[in-house]
């Protein structure tokens, strides 16, 4: 679906960097083999991962799973990256539409392609501050505070 959406966006000024691995990597590589603006990085960690986050302008999370709270979203926010994510599971609760990212229908290539066609680099850069601010809400301290508030409310 990501490959289909990227090709359908028909923008020579977009670059797609795919990090990670899985059962469908070979299929995606075959589907995108004619695209010169796609790079496959495989599994990345440490400095390589940091470099990718630092050099990108947005993070795409084309999940089709009911992820509760994917850690990649606050991680992208730490780098000021807006997240273009599937409207599934807990992802919509983590993305503020047009402020920290955009949502598309899961598994729907035309929905994602529509976002890829209309976004601009200027728009993404304007969202950087809101993304970095959102990252601050995902600290361990905030998490513990929220848990304690729930426990206190139950103790009453």
The per-residue pLDDT for range 11-56, each reduced to its tens digit, is: 999 999 999 988 889 999 999 999 999 999 999 999 999 999 999 9
Its domain, for residue 63, covers 2-155
Note whether 15 and 41 are within 8 A (CB). Answer: no
Q: What is the dihedral of CA 88, 90, 91, 97, to 10 degrees?
A: 100
Q: How many residues does the chain have?
A: 156
Work out how many domains the chain is built from and give that number: 1
Q: Shortest CA distance to 91 belongs to which of 78, 74, 108, 79?
A: 74
Give the count of beta carbons closer than 10 Å to the beta carbon of residue 156: 4
Which residue carries 């995902």 as its tokens? 138
CATH number at residue 63: 3.40.50.2000
The model's pLDDT over 44-102, given as tens digits with 9 standing for 90+, comes to 999 999 999 999 999 999 999 999 999 999 999 999 999 999 999 999 999 999 999 99
Would you say residue 143 has pLDDT above 90?
no
Query: Residue 70: what pLDDT?
Result: 95
Supply the pTM of this predicted model. 0.90
Would you say residue 156 has pLDDT above 80?
no
Query: Residue 55: what pLDDT?
Result: 96
């Amino acid at each position: 679906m990501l490959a289909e959406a990227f090709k359908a966006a028909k923008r020579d000024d977009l670059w797609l960097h795919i990090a990670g691995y899985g059962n469908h990597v070979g299929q995606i590589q075959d589907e995108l083999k004619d695209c010169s603006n796609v790079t496959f990085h495989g599994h990345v960690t440490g400095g390589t991962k940091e470099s990718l986050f630092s050099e990108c302008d947005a993070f795409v999370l084309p999940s089709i799973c009911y992820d509760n709270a994917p850690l990649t979203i606050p991680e992208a926010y730490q780098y000021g990256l807006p997240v273009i994510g599937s409207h599934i599971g807990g992802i919509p609760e983590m993305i503020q539409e047009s402020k920290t990212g955009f949502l598309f229908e899961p598994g729907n290539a035309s929905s994602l392609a529509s976002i890829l066609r209309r976004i601009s680099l200027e728009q993404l850069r304007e969202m950087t501050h809101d993304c970095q601010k959102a990252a601050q809400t995902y600290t361990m301290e905030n998490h513990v505070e929220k848990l304690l508030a729930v426990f206190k409310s139950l103790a009453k």
